Amino acid sequence: MTEKKLAFIDKNLSELKETGLLITIRTIQSAQGAWLVVDGKRVLNFCSNNYLDLANHPDLKRAATAAIDKYGVGPAGVRSIAGTLDLHVQLEERLAKFKNVEAVIALQSGFNANLAVIPALTDKGDIIISDELNHASVIDGVRLSKADRGIYKHCDVADLKVQLDAAKAKKHSKILVITDGVFSMDGDIAPLDQITEVCEASDALLMVDDAHGEGVLGRGGRGIVDHFKLHNRVDIEIGTLSKAFGVVGGYVAGRKVLIDYLHQRSRPFLFSSATTPADTAACIAGVDLLERSTPQVEKLWENTHYFKSKLIKLGFNTGRSATPIVPVMLGEAPLAQKFSKRCFEEGVFAMAIGYPTVPQGKARIRTMISASHSKADLDQGIKTYEKVGKELKVI
Ligand SMILES: *Cc1c(COP(=O)(O)O)cnc(C)c1O
């Protein structure tokens, strides 16, 4: 009986397979770094969000181990009842200082941070205006709100302004504009300075999801608000601790009154357990490290410029990338899958990304550059891309 009821899933999976959109999930059997053991094979890692090489950093590991010794392994509760450790409070204070904001609330993930803030701040009678390429967690956060919705063309400030004017004419009680800081599939940067200006002119709340800007943009990796020097002008910043910080977790940064309100109203905070002592302590060590020194951020950008310029010289199309996210645009999903498979055979782990993560016909290989890569690693990656690119007649 069950089998029959689930037949629709079989059909859907076959369809994904036929269209080259079935995702192959590979298993990693080693620590994070420039090289991984994946499905039993040692490969060069072009997939991880481990921008600053902190995921296996001795300082973070030491902090995590010490936290386990002192606090044990589990948080044992949601934060509002009995799950808030002094470590969570410390992390929030340290992040607030790092981001130059009044206060921070830490959550289990960046995904949860979006679900925490968007429905808590908006209601019936309001409108949320969102960039068309915003992250899935922003989209889901918007879906959880009773507010009206508008979508503006990707990074198009003129279109955003048209929609802001229309929203004002309709007398919505509140307008919330949301943009990713760095767009995760193209690696382009939102024009946050111009977006801030049009939001200010319309009295709209502005929220930026800085998951891929954290540790990458701004002084010492302080993010997109620092990059554009917009301190105190962006109402809500979302951050993740699962990318550049190399651990897991997410947070919301802004005015104290905003964070006080989220303690009362954000559902992932109120109804889901906190991050573990080990994770939280490792995140604090990550903030320590970034506050102390920035060679990782510099190396990340050096690697990015080197890798991207070589690819472009070879004739690859890296799209709109302005950050360490370097897509190699290939078009059709089966070609991207073939490219990824051939790279893997040649010892390079680079994932193909297709619909629905990116629009139909915009499939690509998404290369993630990191501070962990040596120049020799990058050269090897470039050589492999060149070989596979010629073989598949991409260049
Ligand atoms: C990765 C990402 C998230 C999710 O962060 P997690 O901490 O992995 O849950 C949210 N928003 C954006 C823009 C992201 O790129």
The reply to whether 158 and 230 lie within a common domain is yes
146 is a catalytic site residue: no
Query: Alpha-carbon torsion 124, 127, 132, 135, what sign?
Result: negative
1 pLDDT higher than 80: no
| Mean of pLDDT values over 253-269 | 98
The structure's pTM equals 0.96
| Mean of pLDDT values over 153-160 | 98
Gyration radius of the chain over CA positions = 21
Ligand 1 atom with least separation from CA of 49: 1
The reply to whether 164 and 129 lie within a common domain is yes
The reply to whether 218 and 366 lie within a common domain is no
* Mutation test residue for ligand 1: of 137, 236, 358, the one with most atoms within 8 Å of CB: 137
Residue-wise pLDDT for 107-138, tens only, equals 999 999 999 999 999 999 999 999 999 999 99
Q: Do the domain assignments include residue 262?
A: yes
CA of 204 to the centre of ligand 1 (A): 24
Kind and range of the H or E element at 131?
strand 127-131
Half-sphere exposure at residue 261, Cβ-oriented, CA atoms within 13 angstroms: 15
Q: Do the domain assignments include residue 1?
A: no
11 is a catalytic site residue: no
Shortest-distance Cα residue to atom 5 of ligand 1: 110
Q: Do the domain assignments include residue 284?
A: yes
Alpha-carbon span 191 to 207, nearest angstrom: 13
pLDDT score recorded for residue 22: 86
CA of 96 to the centre of ligand 1 (A): 19
Q: Do the domain assignments include residue 339?
A: yes
The reply to whether 265 and 360 lie within a common domain is no
pLDDT score recorded for residue 271: 97
Domain assignment of residue 170, given as a range? 58-292
Ligand 1 atom with least separation from CA of 248: 7
Alpha-carbon span 267 to 265, nearest angstrom: 6
Contacts of 13 (CB under 8 A, 6+ apart): 22
CA of 111 to the centre of ligand 1 (A): 5
Q: How many helices (H) and strands (E) does the chain have?
A: 15, 13
Residues with CB under 6 A from ligand 1: 109-111, 135, 137, 180, 184, 209, 211-212, 240, 242, 250
The reply to whether 299 and 354 lie within a common domain is yes
178: CATH? 3.40.640.10
Residue-wise pLDDT for 9-52, tens only, equals 999 999 999 988 888 899 999 999 999 999 999 999 999 999 99
243 is a catalytic site residue: yes
Count of domains for the chain = 2
283 pLDDT higher than 80: yes
SS3 content of the chain, % helix, strand, coil (to 5): 45, 15, 35
The reply to whether 15 and 108 lie within a common domain is no
pLDDT score recorded for residue 57: 97
pLDDT score recorded for residue 294: 80
293 pLDDT higher than 90: no
* Percent of the chain residues topping a pLDDT of 70: 100
Residues 388, 343 contacting (CB under 8 angstroms):
yes
94 pLDDT higher than 90: yes
173 pLDDT higher than 90: yes
CA of 240 to the centre of ligand 1 (A): 6
Shortest-distance Cα residue to atom 6 of ligand 1: 110
274 pLDDT higher than 90: yes
pLDDT score recorded for residue 341: 95
| Mean of pLDDT values over 305-321 | 98
* Mutation test residue for ligand 1: of 182, 184, 188, the one with most atoms within 8 Å of CB: 184
Question: Assign residue 104 a region: left if phi > 0, alpha if psi is -120 to 50, beta otherwise?
Answer: beta
**Domain boundary, last residue among 292, 320, 341:** 292
> Which of 99, 161, 212, 227 is labelled catalytic?
212
Sheet holding 205-209: strands in order across? 103-107, 250-254, 236-240, 205-209, 175-180, 127-131, 148-152
Alpha-carbon span 336 to 333, nearest angstrom: 5
DSSP 193-227: HHHHHHHHHHT-EEEEE-TTTTTTSSGGG--HHHH
The reply to whether 200 and 320 lie within a common domain is no
| Mean of pLDDT values over 302-322 | 98
Query: What is the CA angle 71-272-249, rounded to 5?
Result: 65
pLDDT score recorded for residue 14: 95
Alpha-carbon span 107 to 251, nearest angstrom: 5
> Which of 130, 137, 145, 184 is labelled catalytic?
184
Q: Do the domain assignments include residue 97?
A: yes
Query: Alpha-carbon torsion 317, 320, 323, 324, what sign?
Result: negative
**Domain boundary, last residue among 292, 325, 348:** 292
CA of 390 to the centre of ligand 1 (A): 34
